Structure formats: C-alpha cells, structure tokens
Chains A and B, each alone.
Chain A
Amino acid sequence: MMRSMRPASAEDPEVSPGLDGAWNVLRRGLAESPELRSGMLYTIALAVVSTIGSLALPVLIQQVLDRGLGGNQEPRLGFVLWVCALTAVVTGAIYFAGRAAFARLTTSSERALRTLRVRVFAHIHSLSIAEQTEQKRGVYVARVTADVDTLSHFLEWSGVSWITGSVLIVGTFALMAVYSWQLMLIVLVSIAPLALILRLLQVNLLSSYDLVRTRVGQTLSEISESVMGADVVRAYGLDERIDRRLKGAIDRQYRAQMRAMKFQAMVFPSGNFFGAVAMGAVVLVGVLFGPSWGLSSGRLVAFMFLVNLLTFPLAEMAENFDQTQTAIAGWRKVLAVLDIPRGLEEPSPGVILPEGELSIEARGVEFSYTGGPPVLRGIDLDVAAGAHVAIVGETGCGKTTFAKLLSRLADPTSGQILVGGVDLTEVAPEARRRAIRMVPQDGFLFDGTIRANVAYGRSGAGRADLADVEAAFRELGLEDWLEWLPQGIDTRVGQRGEDLSAGEAQMVALARAQIAEPSILILDEATSAVDPETERALSEALRRLSEGRTTVTIAHRLSTAEAADWVFVFDQGRLVEQGRHAELLTLGGRYTDLYQSWLGNTQLHA
C-alpha cells in the first residue's frame, strides 16, 4: 500500500546519450515507433485540409464582394449563389476529409503507443534484479502508464495543433501575399512583437507551471504523511504541527497557481490585441495606399478576415508549450527505459542439467547492485548434492542477495557459481528454471485462485492440471488446510495474495515450489509472526519439500541452523564461519554470538 502511494516523481538521473534536446527525442521516438510516421502524414493531411477549410471563407468573401457585387456592375446574384454553393460543397468535403484524417491519425497513434507500452513492459521484466530495486519499480510503473498517457494526449491534442497551427499560419500568409504582398508585410511587422511577447510569456508560464507541479507534489506528501502517520499524530498529540504544515502547503500551492494564472490570463488577450493592431494597420495602409496598388475593396475586406485567422493559432501554440514540454520529457523517460541494458545474457541452446540432486559451488563470488556498495565480497563455498544447508547472519549481511544469485536472478559481478558442476551462466534457461526453484521471503501471489497460482509453478511443457495441484498440497501435508477453506482450491487470493494471511500465502508458495519438482530448493525463510498451528504446518511442509533435494535455507531462526547438515555464517558480505551447529558453537565466534542472543530470548527454564 505504501509503495503505491508514493508520487511517481522520482526522477531517474540517467538520461541516455542521444536523448538530450527535444528534437533528438522526437527523432528517436519516431524511430522506435514507425507507426507514428503514418500518423504524422495523416496529421499533415489534416492540417492542410483544415487550412483550406479556414481559408475558403475569406476567399469566398472576396469573390462575392469583388465579382458578385463589386464596383459599378449589376449584382450578379447567380454568380454569388453559384460560388456560395461551391464553397459549401468544398466545406462539406473538407469536413469528411478532416474527419477521415483525424480518425486515422488516432488509430495509428494509439497503435503505436500500445506497441511502445508493451515493449517497455517486456523490457522491464527482462532486466536483471540488479536494476529492479524497490524504488525503481515505482518509477517503472509510471513509465508504462502515466508517461505513455501524457504522450497520447500530446499526439492527439497539442501535438496536432502545433502542425495544424503552423500550416494555417503559413497558408494565411501565402494567401495574403497573393492578395497584396505589401499588406502582408505590414501584417508581419505588426504581428512580430506578439511573437516576442508570447515567447516571454511562455518562458514565465513554463517556470510557473513547474512551480505549481512542485507545490502540488508537496501538498500531496504532507497530506499523505498526515494520513499514513495518523496513529502517531494522535498518540503524540501532533495535531497543531500537522495543521500548520498542511495549511502552509495548501497556501503555497494557491499562491503558485495564482502566479501561473497571471501569465496564463494574458496569452489569448495579447493575441487579440496585436490582431487588432495588425487589423488597424491593414485598414490604414490599405485605405491610404491600396487603390494606388491596384487593391480591390473586396480584397481589403477579405484581408481583415485573414488577419483574424492568425491570432488564434499563435496564442494556442503559446499555451501548448507547457503540455509539449511535459510530453517530450515523458517520452524521453520512456525511451530511456528501453536503453537500460538487460544484464542477463541467456545461453542458447545451453547445457541441460542432469536429473536428481545437484551440488552447488561458489567460487570467489562478488556482487553489488548497480551504483551501490559491495554486498558480497569473495564468497567460496561448496554444497554437496542432496545436503540441507543453512545460511545465517545478521540483517544486511548479504545472504538474501546470495540466494538470488544462486537462482540466477542476477549474475555475480565477479566469480562463478556452478550447479552440478556446470557454470550457471551456461545452463539452458528452461532447464535452470525447472531445476532451481527459489521461494522468496514474502509469498508473492498473483490475483487469481490458489489453483492458478500453484499451477504457475510449472509452465510450458508438462503444464500442471488440477490433479497435480492437489497432489502438491497432499505431498506437503497441507490438504487439511485446503479443505477447511470455503472455496478450497478455487479460493481467490486477492492482489499480491493479500486476501490470505501471511502463513497461508506462504503455504501456497510452497505448493507452487513443490509442483515444480526442482533439484535445488532455495528458501528465504519468512519472518512474519504466524500463529503456532500454522507455524507447525509450515515447518512440516518445509521438511517434506526439502526431502530428496539440495536445499539452501536462508535462515532467520537459528533452530533451522541447528537442524541443518551444514551452516554457513555470513557477516557483512563475507563467509566467516562454516560447519555443523555443534562444532560452530565451540568456536565462540559469530555463530555463538547469534545463538546466545537467541537463546537468551526464548529460554524460560532458568
């Protein structure tokens, strides 16, 4: 719950080379999504079509005034009617053409986005766990959802208006030049300051929107803190403090919003105003010099309508800047994910492992998470085939990481791991997944039934059916528990298995491992407190699960170590002691320390 509440504002510092600058992002984005190219063509088609549509009216006006009603001739109503009808038909045709273009534009951009989304999703799953830390996971989800959505909005709203606006402006100026190049220049000169003003406004707008976003994020964090820490707030009487902070954040947000509003309110009106200036200039110059240039009155009137056409797209583009920037930034982040190297190279075809119990060897294994300190420093150990060993140590000593390396969830940064005498990096992926099974600490389950979740344990050829699932529970001695559930094997587990208790989720995870019939079992012992009966059932299930398999248990209870064939003691990434429980106790070292404190905690018979 806590994870999903964090606002996905964690910026990745990594920006791939070649993705700096908006144009580079656009270029790369188009390269990665070729469907977008046809989308662009449709957008341009749309722009051309709608420009024609917009320009048709001024042209019509000019024609009607000059040719239909102009000068000293008799009004030619027939002509007027004809040219109006023609324009109406053109307008109608423009509607259908525009509609078709926009529909196709949407279709191709949505297809492109879906493909991109799925590609990025697949890539995320292919990354090694070195890249999949908890913090980054939240960021990845944002990439695949919110960031792609922003892109969608851009491609179908503001992005389109950039192109249609530009084409309209160019078209308008072109038509103006046809009617009177001199007046066109006048318009250009009158509008020029607007471009500068809009640019200034836009810079301020961007920075003030940024501030608003920051403030919104801050308000969200403050509220989130007060809600999630509600019990501490009440137990420690922190109401006033929280109140102050919250009201402060709300107020700051309001002020940032009003500051942005100041600039926002001025964008369209600026366009309006300069439009009027251009209009006035056109009338002035047109009236004073027009006749001597051979300008007709109809053309001058049409000119006024053309000036009107200019101001809206210019102002709209200024307003779109912020949206565009966010979209480009989002696009860059999404593309950057695709650039993260996968990490694990799978061999093909790879070595198939022999049947039965397998030995494990580690030679000089070292590991650190990307950009992090060393977690494992030179581990050498041997596990005989069929042995049940335990790895113990304080929190943070590297034992869980070592377990992950044994299942090849990541490769050691140096050194080797061998199973059954074969280098782990050379084992065929399918064979590896069947032979080595890891049961992680928290029994993560997928939103579905117990049966489906257990069946996941065996995928591909030899898929598990109902009988297999039931057999798995029986073999572990858990069938009673299953019967006790109202829907039995069809009980839904909820998202992440949250509808089950911790102990029950663990049982399902064990059954999932059992059904795979692995040769090597890697268990990261759960630490959550469960009630004694569940505890007993789980211990028994674990015992049965380990039978006939090489088992490596990351032990959090020293009783597990007591019962193991061999114990490895880790301390700050190094293997410091190893041996049988009794021998280790005589050493009076790290193991003894751990054991003593545990004993001190449970002993009552003093």
Chain B
Amino acid sequence: MRAEVRKNEEQRSVFGRGIRIIVSYVRMHPLPFTISLVGGVLYSAATVASTIILGRVTDEIIYPAFRSGVNTRTLWGGVAALVCVVAVRAGAIVLRRYFAGMTSYRMQASLRTRVIERYRDLPLAFHRSRPAGELLAHAEADVQAATDVLNPVPFSVTVIFLVLFAVISLILTDPLLASVGLVILPLLGLLNRFYGRTVEPAATAAQQAIGEVSAIAHESIDGALVVKTLGREDSEVSRFDQRAAVLEQERVRMGRLRAAFEPAFETVPNLGIIALLAMGAWRLSTGAVTVGTMVQVVSLFQLLAFPMRMIGFVLALIPRAVVGRERLQGIFVEPSSMSTPEQGADLPSGPVGVSLRSVAFSYGEHRVLNDLSFEVAADESVALVGPTGAGKSTLAELLVRLADPDKGTILLGGIDLRQIAPGHLRQSAAVVFQRSFMFATSVKDNIALDSGASEEEVVDAARRAQADDFIRVLPQGYDTVVGERGVTLSGGQRQRIALARALARKPRLLILDDATSAVDPTVEAAILNRLRAELNTTLIVIAYRVSAIALADRVLFLEGGRIQASGKHGELMSFAPYEAMVRAYELGAGASRVRAGR
C-alpha cells in the first residue's frame, strides 16, 4: 500500500514537473503555440458543428426527400454547408499541426543551441570528465526527448475544448442521450490512463533489452578477430541468442498488452454508440428526438474516440521529457569557465620564455603538481621527463592555459597567462598532443585551421613536420578529406599533420606532448633534428623516448609533482632516480641482450 502511495506521489510530481517544463517552453515560443491553439479551438468547434449540420441535413433534407420531396435550394444549401464546415475543419487541422510542429522544432533548435553554447563555454576539464558518447547524447537524444512532448500538446489542449463543446451540444440536444455519452467519455479516459500506466514498464523493459542486445553485438563483432582465433563462434552465437530471447519475450509482452488495449479503444466507443442507438431509438419513438439528432450524436462519438487518445500520448511523453530536460539541467548548472582579462596584454615579439612560480594543481582529490617552479629561457629547447602519472601532460595544458592552476602563477614572456588576451595566447603558444583530432575536412584545412596561413605556409609547415611527402601521394593531395568519413590516416601520419598544424601558426612557444610516438623512428629523428635546428621558438618536449631527450639543451626531471632535477642530460645521469628512469626507458625500448641459450 505504501509503495502504491509513494508511486502515485512520484507520478504526480513527474506530471507536475512536466507541466512546468511545457509551460516554460511555451513562454519561449508563444506565437506559433498560440496560432496552433487557435487552429485547435477552431477545429473543435468545426468538428462539433459538422455533426450538427449532419443531423440537420438528415432531418431537413434526407427524410423529407424520401417522404415528400425537397426544395432544391435547401438541398444545395445543406450540401454546401456540410462541405464548407469540413473545409474549415481541414484548414484548422493544417494550422494546428503546422504550428504545433513549428513550436516543437523551434524549441528543439533553441535547446540544442543552448547546450552547445554551454559546451563551448565549459572548460576542458568538464569535457574530460564525461565520455564523449554521453555529451553527444545530451545534445542529441536528450534534447529530442525533452522537446518531443510539445508536438501533441496543442491537440491535447484542444481536445478539452472538443469535449466541452461536445458536452454542451449534447446537453442542449437531449439530456437523456447526453447522460449515456457522459458515461462513455470518462470510461475512455480511464482506459487511456490505465493503458499508459501498464505499458510504460513494459516499454522500458523492452528498451533495456534492446540496449543489452546492442552491447553484446558491439563487443562480439568488434572482437571478431579474437573470436575467430579462439574458435568461439558458437558460444558467441549462443550468448547473443540468450539476449535476443529476452528481447523477444519483452516485445511479446508488450504486444500482448497492446493486443488487449488497442482493440478496446475501438470496442468501447462502439459499445457506447450501440447503447446510444438503443436509447436513441426509444427517445425517437416517443418523439423526444429526431433521426437527425441520433445521427448527430452518433457521429459525434465516432469523432471523439481518436482525439481522446491524444491525451494518452502526451501523458506517455511527459516522463521522457522530464528526464531529458533534467539531464540537460545538469549541464546548465555546471560552473563555467575561466576568467578573461578586461584588456588583454600583448606578448613581446620573438620566442617567449616560460616561468612557473609555485604552481599547484589537483584533479579532484589527487594532487598532481605541488609547488612547482622553474624557468625556461626564450628560444631554449627543454625536455620534460618523468615517470608515468608525474603530471607532464597536465603541465603542458597549464602552460597554454587550457586550465588554471589551483595555486601559483605561470608567466609567458614575463606576463601572467591570465592577463593575456585569449586569442593572442592561442596564436602564440601551441601544443601538440599525442593523439590529435582530425576534423572532417581537407588536409590543408586541418593544418591551417583558421590561422589565416597561406597555402605556401601550410606546405612549409607540412615539410617541417615531414608530412609533405605522404600528403602529396594521397588521392587528392592537400585537398584530400580526412577525419571520420574521409581517408584513414595512420597514427604517425596524424601526428605529423597535427605537428604541421602547430607549426603553421609560427608559435613562439611550442609544446610537444609525446607528439611523435607513432611516427617511425627514422622519420622522428629527422623531425626532431630539424625542429631543433631551424625553429625560432621556445621548445618544450615531453619525452618518453630517449632520442628526444638527447635533442634538448636542458632536461627537467619531474617527479612527485616537483622538478627534482634540472640540467644537461649528462649532468643528470649522476642523479640516481633519473638514471634509473633512463635505464628503464632503454630497457623498455628493448636493448636487452640477455637471452640465454639463443
């Protein structure tokens, strides 16, 4: 009993929230909604009017015609009235539907815009904390679920008018017949409600089952190679079949529910009409009503059955809308981004030096950088090394202000990062990640990317990144489209294009975060040598490969959130932890000569 009560309360609160959401939507797009509503009211009036006219036609035209004959003018007048009122009704439906659609689609567009604007404003840390699939689902599926409910709302609201007009016209016609009708209508309403309640859990269960079938299909087909190697095809098929069987069960369960209810939506009104006919015949025999009245009442009830289902549809969509909208609310209340300076300071020209003063940074509970201080002179090449998880990549992000440190300051060319105009900073400092995203556009555009670089500058950057050679042999050369639906590039090719992207901006500070890891050793050597020799920037290379360490003027050894040692590579080799790490790198690269007995 308690669970029932709680469940009822929950449902009422969902309904309440749903109504509030719908009202907020209407406030945002009042015009199309109002027009749609007007269309709806017109439709309701015309519907009831059409049944009245049908009744009058029966009484004043059809029956007289068969008895004594009819006035031609009355005949044409009646037919014309019939066709006209239905024409108005049809027009009203067009109006209602079109503008209901407009309200819903406009709301969808504005909500989606709001979501992507939020994404734009939120810092990188937010994007990192959620899987990309979830972010996409918010922008796509949640927005859709949150706004789909709007479409049938005008219709549902006007059904209220329809019922109102119908009841009035019935009572005015014959109260006794009306009373039969007034029993049918609530009955239909209850049926709707009951159906909604019962089908909802079944539909959810079916949705869940589909999700599980999909998950297995994904995993199994992704690992098709391993399945083959292990000869596990049969067990995979039976695993899949089990889930497919569950899905089948759930769907059949839903089908049975539908089978029980949907015919009822025809049967109940029909039984009602039969009752009306019986009662109507009696009233007719006593002369209380005419045949026309009966015709009017019967056609009215026939027209009511379908619209009443609309209310059921809206009720079914409300929970989904509430869920969708509340998930989005989660994003809208996320604390926003980093401060921008009023008047951004400009950097001095030429390569810039970097200075860190007592920088601290944490990911949630975990303190990654702790009282970190060091200097990199302008035009210096520095290698940043340290064990995995030491905070090197975090540092790279802080240096280009993809995030702000919790404590301390970072200075670029002597100016606090927070004081530099963001646009200017983006042009001056570039970071190349280990895995760089390729946009679905041409190679040229992927390199230039709004930097205003000319075609020559793009090619020049590609050459320095040792990418020009392979780009030229691509099907359309620099115009070849890459990215998701374009040509698939190897990891090393992508990294080189990402490097070219950074170089095309002629940055004053260049940070490479393991940016050549997938490139073949020969090519990597060529790139690094050239960068060092030719480039007029301050270079910070985060290195996992010993070759990159050799290239730098100086090495910074980061461990435990601090710089533990700094100096030329040779000098640092006398520092035990550093030496151990380098040996481990060498070993890892496989210079092992210990293979006894081979």
Contact = CB atoms under 8 A, between A and B. Distances in A.
Given A88-B271, A535-B588, A227 B132 contact: yes
Contacts of B277: 60-61, 64, 80, 84
Interface in B61-100: 61-63, 65-66, 70, 75-76, 78-80, 82-83, 86-87, 89-91, 93-94, 97-98
A284 B83 CA distance: 12
B93 A269 contact: yes
Given A50-B263, A225-B440, A250-B113, A269 B91 contact: yes
Contacts of A535: 584, 587-588
Residue from A100, A114, A253 whose CB has the most chain B CB atoms within 10 Å: A114
A429 B231 contact: yes
A485 B364 CA distance: 24
Nearest to A131: B224
A125 B236 contact: yes
Contact of B589 (A140, A288, A557): A557
A543 B87 CA distance: 86
A316 B26 CA distance: 29
B17 to A, nearest CB: 26
Interface residues of A, number: 166
A304 interface: yes
Interface stretch (B291-299, B327-335, B455-463): B291-299
A102 B426 CA distance: 64
Given A122-B237, A231-B437, A597 B230 contact: no
Interface stretch (A22-30, A258-266, A352-360): A258-266
Interface string A444-460: 10110000000011011
A601 B94 contact: no
Contacts of A597: 520-522, 525
Contacts of B240: 118, 121
Given A290-B66, A601-B525, A275 B86 contact: yes
Contacts of A404: 225
A265 B104 CA distance: 14
Given A57-B270, A106-B255, A539 B592 contact: yes
A57 B422 CA distance: 75
Given A102-B259, A269-B94, A284-B76, 16 more contacts: A81-B278, A102-B262, A132-B224, A225-B437, A231-B437, A232-B439, A261-B101, A266-B94, A276-B83, A276-B87, A277-B83, A288-B65, A290-B66, A300-B66, A396-B490, A531-B588
A437 B226 CA distance: 10
Contact of A232 (B76, B235, B295, B437): B437
A95 interface: yes
B223 interface: yes
Interface stretch (A2-10, A363-371, A375-383, A466-474): A2-10
A268 B299 CA distance: 18
A47 interface: no
A559 to B, nearest CB: 3
Contact of B267 (A81, A94, A305): A94
Contacts of B509: none
A529 interface: yes
A272 interface: yes
Nearest to B435: A231
A565 interface: yes
A427 interface: no
Nearest to A101: B259
A16 interface: no
Contacts of B285: 69, 75, 77
A484 interface: no
Interface stretch (B5-13, B353-361, B376-384, B544-552): B544-552
A121 B258 contact: no
Nearest to A291: B66
A548 to B, nearest CB: 12
B203 interface: no
Nearest to B215: A495
A246 B101 contact: no
B176 interface: no
Interface in B189-230: 210, 213-215, 217-230
Contact of A91 (B101, B251, B270, B427): B270
Interface in A45-73: 50, 53-54, 56-57, 60-61, 64-65, 68-69
B217 A265 contact: no
Contact of A241 (B58, B113, B450): B450
A91 B265 CA distance: 12
Given A246-B116, A254-B105, A283-B78, A137 B224 contact: yes
B90 A270 contact: yes
A284 B63 contact: no
Contact of B133 (A5, A257, A430, A437): A5
A36 interface: no
A401 interface: no
B136 A407 contact: no
B180 interface: no
B13 to A, nearest CB: 32
Interface in A86-117: 87-88, 91-92, 94-95, 98-100, 102-103, 105-107, 110-111, 113-114, 117
Contacts of B127: 227, 230-231
Interface stretch (B242-250, B366-374, B404-412): B242-250
Nearest to A9: B485
Residue from B119, B244, B590 whose CB has the most chain A CB atoms within 10 Å: B590
Contacts of B416: none
B79 A283 contact: yes
Task: Give 10 nearest A-B pairs by CB, closest first.
Answer: A106-B255, A559-B590, A532-B584, A237-B426, A276-B86, A597-B522, A229-B437, A601-B547, A75-B285, A269-B90
A93 to B, nearest CB: 10
Contacts of A110: 248, 251-252, 255
15 contacts: A95-B267, A105-B255, A106-B256, A114-B244, A129-B224, A236-B426, A236-B451, A237-B450, A251-B109, A261-B101, A265-B94, A287-B65, A290-B65, A305-B302, A532-B584
B177 interface: no
A564 B281 CA distance: 102
B267 A236 contact: no
Interface stretch (A174-182, A216-224, A475-483): A216-224
A195 interface: no
A425 interface: no
B293 to A, nearest CB: 12
A4 B218 contact: yes
Contacts of A414: none
Contacts of B66: 290-291, 296-297, 300
Given A118-B240, A261-B105, A300-B62, A438 B229 contact: yes
Contacts of A230: 119, 124, 127
Given A4-B218, A257-B101, A121 B230 contact: no
Contacts of B553: none
A19 B411 CA distance: 67
A602 interface: yes
Contacts of B517: 529
Nearest to A134: B488
A328 interface: no
A531 B588 CA distance: 8
Contacts of B230: 433, 456-457, 459, 512
Interface string A119-150: 00110111001001000010011001100010
A114 to B, nearest CB: 4
A282 to B, nearest CB: 9
A145 B436 contact: no
Contact of B251 (A68, A106, A264, A457): A106
A180 B163 CA distance: 35
Contacts of A3: 222
B116 A102 contact: no
Given A98-B263, A241-B450, A224 B229 contact: no
A145 B106 CA distance: 31
B57 interface: yes
